[in-house]
Amino acid sequence: MELLDAMSKRHSMRDFRPDPVPHDMLQRLVSSAALAPSSLNEQPWRFFVATGDSRRELGKLIAQATIHLSEYMDVLGPQRYEDAVVWYSALGEAPVLIAVASPVTEDQLARLNRHLSVGAAIENLLLAAVDEGLGASNITFSHWVEDEIAELLGLPEDWDVLTVVAIGWPGEAPPAAPQHRQADVVWLD
């Protein structure tokens, strides 16, 4: 698949088939993620690929984030709130969860550089998933239960969980990619 084609087809999948994803395919996803650029080539990431029992345990922890969604009821509105509760409860039945962690730093510039680097790695992973015919969703609300996730993963105290990505085969009727607005660009001469 051509890169621009993968970019235009990539969108957050919310419904997955429970079929397992082959190990070699998952290896290609995380290898693609590790090709991302990083400040000073620090490569400030660690990927935890959870399948089977570990996926169920990680999913249970993420489902606890629904407790905190009530804080966003006014922002989401009743329908989107209910949809969010359903999504976080089962994560679309995705058979694979990939937690992404990065070393902690108090230095503001280093933290910014690490987060940008991890973001690039996640985008590589998401595009590689499209290339493999998989669906994926970057789960951003996992920060509410990041301490519990870190404990489950055996993460050292000087590392933070930044996100969890749900991966799997697209469900029965995968939605079309949403329309994106044109880039907000200011051209300078």
The CATH number for 93's domain is 3.40.109.10
Query: Of the candidates 126, 148, 95, which has an alpha carbon nearest to the alpha carbon of residue 7?
Result: 126
Structural domain includes residue 153: yes
Structural domain includes residue 8: no
Structural domain includes residue 188: no
Token pair of 30 as six digits: 């995380």
pLDDT digits (tens, 9 = 90+) for 142-155: 677 889 999 999 99
Report pLDDT for 129.
96
Number of domains in the chain: 1
Q: Are 29 and 129 in contact (CB under 8 A)?
A: yes
If DSSP codes are grouped into helix, strand and coil, which group holds residue 49? strand
Token pair of 10 as six digits: 């990539």
Residues in a beta bridge with 3: none
Structural domain includes residue 26: yes
Structural domain includes residue 89: yes
Residue 42 to residue 107: CA distance in whole angstroms: 15
pLDDT per residue of the chain (189 residues) written in tens, 0 to 9: 688 788 788 878 889 999 999 999 999 999 999 999 999 999 999 999 999 999 999 999 988 877 666 666 666 677 777 777 777 788 999 999 999 999 999 999 999 999 999 999 999 999 999 999 999 999 876 677 889 999 999 999 999 999 999 999 998 766 666 676 788 888 898
Structural domain includes residue 10: no
Residue 121 to residue 106: CA distance in whole angstroms: 22
Structural domain includes residue 177: no
Structural domain includes residue 87: yes
pTM of the predicted structure, to 2 decimals: 0.89
Cβ neighbours of 185 (radius 10 Å): 6
Report pLDDT for 187.
84
Q: Are 161 and 149 in contact (CB under 8 A)?
A: yes
Domain around 113: 18-170
34 by Cβ neighbours in 10 Å (0-12 / 13-18 / 19+) ranks as middle
